[in-house]
Structure 1
């Protein structure tokens, strides 16, 4: 009995720091989101400006169009589900340069971060109407990240087709 008590006491003392530092879904998302931002901006940086209109096939988006598509999706989801603002699909600014495109993309990542920081943990458990059916806001967070990952993977193929080495993965 005495050994069991001391074993439990030692286990409790050892695990207390880890229990106190539990990571919330918001914390986990924000850490991953920052890594995603760094990685995607790195990919956007290594493609030469004169290749931003490159399309692997006629039916695919250009490199720049992929980046702007990612940006638009981030703006739509974060505005619609994590702010009181109304998303305006008609409001589109098309950047003229690589630098402007990267700045817009970085700004969208930062806006998502700001909106998620201002969202309570409880709000992630609420549901919202979504075109693919009702989703929790936690699921919307996953959709935000998943969409970036999906298109970023395509952009890596674009770089490889141009014989440009993609930046090292950021995300661990």
Structure 2
């Protein structure tokens, strides 16, 4: 098949003109795929978080390796409150923990079983929020760490923040003679 220079340039030009439209539709497709991917990773995160959380005996929940460090309990409370406030602030949602935060010492009074229930509720809230957020809102750009990133990337950054604190909790287990379970990936 012979193709003329003119027809080749028309094809190339047509392709270049059409790329932005394809990219836009691919972005929406990717955001729908993001929800499925995030959901699977989030469920795995919950599973691993609860396994680490439940390895610490309740009488060691206030353990700190230095006076200024978070307690074992606070590692998990911080994950709940920080992540929730970031999501609510950026998506303009009411924070489900505002009333609890107003109660003096709310988090410190919770038993291990009660805090585990809060963790499960938090993970369920994030899952529901992500699933109900429209693709255009997930694509919305937000300031983060001196840059601008879309909300969907921020959600991964927040999960990474949880990974950091879960890693801290693993060190707390070891410092208390508890051998952490092996890593559970996606």
Q: TM-score, normalised by structure 1?
A: 0.78
**Cα drift, residue 102 of structure 1:** 1.0
1:70 paired to 2:55: no
For the aligned residue pairs, the C-alpha RMSD in angstroms reads 2.6
Provide the aligned length of Structure 1 versus Structure 2.
153
| SS in structure 1 of the partner of residue 47 of structure 2 | helix
1:118 paired to 2:132: yes
Give, in whole Å, the separation in 2 of the partners of 1:155 and 1:132.
28
Q: Corresponding residue for 1:167?
A: 181
**Cα drift, residue 158 of structure 1:** 0.5
Q: How does 1:36-51 map to 2 (within 5 A)?
A: 36-51=45-60
1:148 paired to 2:162: yes
Q: How does 1:1-172 map to 2 (within 5 A)?
A: 24-82=33-91, 84-85=93-94, 91-92=100-101, 93-94=106-107, 95-130=109-144, 132-172=146-186
Structure 1 runs, 4 residues or longer, greater than 6 Å off? none
Q: Corresponding residue for 2:5?
A: none
**Cα drift, residue 156 of structure 1:** 0.5
Deviations 1:54-88 (A, max 9, x none): 00111211100111011111211232234532577
Structure with more helix by fraction: 2
Q: Unpaired segments of 5 or more residues in structure 1?
A: 1-21
**Cα drift, residue 120 of structure 1:** 2.5
**Cα drift, residue 135 of structure 1:** 2.9
**Cα drift, residue 126 of structure 1:** 1.4
Distance of aligned partners of 1:86 and 1:97 in 2 relative to their CA distance in 1, 3 Å threshold: closer
Q: Tell me if structure 2 keeps the 8 A contact 1:126–1:136.
A: yes
